[in-house]
Amino acid sequence: MTVMHSLFCDLETYSSVDLSRSGVFRYCEAEDFEILLFGYSVDGGAVQVIDLARGESIPKDIIEAITDGSVVKWAFNAAFERICLSRYLGLPTGTYLNPASWRCTMVWSAYLGLPLSLMGVGAVLGLEKQKLAEGKDLIRYFCIPCNPTIANGGRRRNHPSDAPDKWSLFVEYNKRDVEVEMAIHQRLARFPVPDTVWDEYHLDQRINDRGVLVDRTLVQRAIEMDSLSRQELVSRMRELTDLENPNSVSQVKTWLADNGLEVESLGKKDVKAALQDAPRQIQEVLELRLQLAKSSVKKYQAMENAVCSDGRARGMFQFYGANRTGRWAGRLVQMQNLPQNHLEDLGTARALVGSGDYKAVKMLYGDVPDTLSQLVRTAFIPRKGYRFIVSDFSAIEARVIAWLSGESWRSEVFKQGGDIYCASASMMFKVTVEKHGQNGHLRQKGKIAELALGYGGSVGALKAMGALEMGLKEEELKPLVDVWRQSNPNIVRFWWDVDEAAKQAARDKATTSTHGIRFSYESGFLFIGLPSGRRLAYVKPRIGTNDFGSDCVTYEGVGATKKWERIDTYGPKLAENLCQSISRDLLCHAMQQLEAVGCRIVMHIHDEVVIEAPPNIYLQNIETSMAIVPDWAQGLLLNADGYETNFYKKD
């Protein structure tokens, strides 16, 4: 009997649930969910397609392989196949196939700086066989509900018998996807993903499978209150302006202009600026506009869309979603950009919203949309008998860049438990700066400089960070940049050492190093080796000319246009990639340590972890575990701070 080692697979499925809005976990819970086609290859052999929609069955040995931990399963965006097959095998909500024996060619592509789509990867690699372009139309035809028409006999779904020719092409499409996945695997074989990264991927999958409990009552009441609030705000706007559509940007701008106020946009910053000198009637219109724009109902609706039958939202974190650094990207609810909360009585506010007491919320807080926005985080709750422990790294990127560059005065601040903003201001202005004390007014300048200037930022970065709104004057900005750089000569030197090392590696197709970071050119990739052993990849690097007429490294990637294009980079930007990548690796190390001692991580946002903790797990132990420095980062000073809460919030 031949022993199976690997299984490449790809599925075509049907569900009435919108996959893009709800994610695969909710998608598979639909009563009408089914697998239509199952394409597979055993150990790189010829691709077979099982037509389940027309009565065929997946062979017994393939079913056994799917559940056999010794057989490695490969797919592009493997989470989809794994979760769909879990449902097909009859596993209940909350129980899914163990991800440990699964590998993902999308993650492999991301690791090498390639696109996150099968078609995109195939095109960049110039594969002989490409994903069939007809796929989108075929998926639209067979995989989602259709509108009933006279022409289609009033049906709400298309079956193979409704278009046999299209179905035959769909079978070929499924087969081709598996062939493209295998070709990607073969092409990338010389650049394997380290086992440590696969371990991180499996941890990510377990966290996504676990999900987090959603307070559905709060969510539903918030959606209802938002609707009531919007009706009142729109009604009042109509009363004041007589506009047909008070939500229309062009109509509101025209009305403001007719009443003597010209504004460039109705963005939050511009509206707030216009409020300062506007007449009372116009002020009210602008305030109403701000409230209408504040509505966070989309976040609540996203939670409602993603939540599974057991009340938990799953699939909110995309492993290697930011393939320049390997950081996670948000999906569905977009956890990385949740609104902040500043209400002192969050518990009271969420209780009132949860009870549906709209009048009380309006009376006590006035601005209903803002209140609902501040409660978005609190919709995530621990299960009964547990509480959340939330802990995050303190000033992680500032610590990493000090460690990499050898800026020892900064490391000494962290060692002594000092305030980096005060210390930075002290270095910049050569005086003692104490928070709420001696020269305390300078701390704000230290803070804005720290936030804006660490990766080569200048006057524009200070403005983008809100320096003018914080009270700094235009003429102060350039001197602030100069004095920060003079105070951090090793960081500035680090930027340009990295710049030169990257240019030399790309220009000479050579291997260089600086500050313990290795740069190498290999077969069309520029690799930057991180202390953790992971590597950053830049596709098809070469030397170009930047906007200032200087040489710079350029490479191919997804740019600001969201399209695959050639991108310029330079030392400070590469330094930012390095610091964020190392910060990400430190978070992974901490998460693995925490999971190893039985902590249930349910969310992680930037440099923060959220643990659903029973009574016998303590905050201090979590903070201590996160501060443990991995072997590869000796000399780096880590610290973590946290808090306990009965609902998620920003402390």
Average pLDDT of the segment spanning 615-639: 95
Write down the pLDDT at residue 295. Answer: 63
Q: Tell me what pLDDT residue 651 has.
A: 82
Instruction: Please give the CATH topology (third level) of the domain spanning 214-337.
Output: Taq DNA Polymerase; Chain T, domain 4 (1.20.1060)
First to last CA, the chain: 60
Q: pLDDT value at position 543? A: 95
Where along the chain do its domains lie? Answer: 6-193, 214-337, 408-487
Task: Quote the CA–CA distance of 296 and 22 in Å, as a whole number.
Answer: 18
Q: What is the mean pLDDT of residues 318-323?
A: 91
State the sign of the Cα–Cα–Cα–Cα dihedral 312, 314, 316, 319: positive
- Look at residue 288 and tell me whether its pLDDT is greater than 90: no
- How high is the pLDDT of residue 230? 87
Tell me which of 424-438, 499-513, 601-615 is least confident: 424-438
pLDDT at 281 over 80: no
Task: Give me the pLDDT at residue 1, please.
Answer: 58
Confirm if 123 and 109 have CB atoms less than 8 A apart: no
89-131 pLDDT, tens per residue? 999 999 999 999 999 999 999 999 999 999 999 999 988 888 8
Answer with the residue of higher pLDDT: 562 or 603: 603
Residue 518: its pLDDT value, please?
A: 97
Q: How confident is the model at residue 261 (pLDDT cuts 50, 70, 90)?
A: confident
Across 390-403, average pLDDT? 94
Q: Tokens for 360, please give them.
A: 């009380």
- CB 101 within 8 Å of CB 68: yes
pLDDT score of 480: 86
- Tell me the C-alpha distance between 407 and 636, whole Å: 12
Residue 274 predicted with pLDDT over 80: no
- Fold for the domain defined by 6-193: Nucleotidyltransferase; domain 5 (3.30.420)
Residue 621 CA to residue 627 CA, distance in Å, equals: 10
Can you spell out the DSSP letters for 88-126?
HTTPPTT----GGGEEEHHHHHHHTT--SSHHHHHHHHT
CA 260 to chain centre: 42
**Mean confidence (pLDDT) of the chain:** 93
Q: What percent of the chain has pLDDT over 90?
A: 73
Whether 79 contacts 46, CB under 8 Å: no
Model confidence pLDDT, tens digit, residues 474-488: 898 898 899 899 999
State yes or no: pLDDT of 171 exceeds 70: yes
